[in-house]
Amino acid sequence: MVKRKANREGRKERKVSVDVRCFEATVSENEVGKVVVDRALRVHQALGPGLLESAYEACLCYELRDAGLHVDVQKALPVVYKDVKLDCGYRIDLLVESKVIIEVKAVDGLNDVHLAQILTYLKLSDCKLGFLINFNVKRIKEGIRRVVNNLEE
């Protein structure tokens, strides 16, 4: 549900209100993605660029949980090779509702290595939707990259 309300200055601000407890197991990746983008915007508006990734990660985690989403932080991601599970130290920054991967960055710009990282995480985890979110930008919409892996829209 999207609501509009006036803030203290009288401007209309967008508020996405989703309580996923009512969705239970039926919440889609795209529904989760809308909340992720909205809450990333809130974090960026409050903090701006220039902080460490860990600060943005903690704040975004707080916001997503506040929206009623289940969030795993620094979720271990093993590599399976020839039926052997190898713990190689890969960690997903945020795994939301066991469906959507978020990789938080605070860098000068996203590059091909970041894209390869999240694509690999999507494949290894069988997740279909991920977000690269770089908070070290002037406008957050320039720092969000939506990445899909066989997602039916």
Decide if 6 is inside a domain: no
In whole angstroms, what is the distance from residue 21 CA to residue 58 CA?
Answer: 22
In degrees and rounded to multiples of 5, residue 20 shows phi and psi of -70, -10
In a domain, 32, yes or no: yes
pLDDT, residue 25, reads 59
Answer whether residue 7 is part of any domain.
Answer: no
In a domain, 61, yes or no: yes
Domain membership of residue 21 (yes or no) is no
Give the residue numbers spanning the domain of 104.
Answer: 27-148
Residue 20 falls inside a structural domain: no
CB-CB contact of 121 with 114 (8 Å) = no
**pLDDT string in tens for the chain (153-residue length):** 444 445 555 544 444 444 444 445 578 999 999 999 999 999 999 999 999 999 999 999 999 999 999 999 999 998 888 888 888 888 999 999 999 999 999 999 999 999 999 999 999 999 999 999 999 999 999 999 999 998 776
- Structural contact between residues 68 and 19, judged by C-beta atoms closer than 8 angstroms: yes
For the chain, how many structural domains are there in total?
Answer: 1
Global pTM reads 0.81
Assess if residue 5 is contained within a domain: no
Tokens of 153: 């829209």
* Contact (Cβ atoms closer than 8 angstroms) between residue 128 and residue 149: yes
The pLDDT score that the predictor gives to residue 16 is: 42
Residue 86: per-residue pLDDT: 85
Domain assignment of residue 44, yes or no: yes
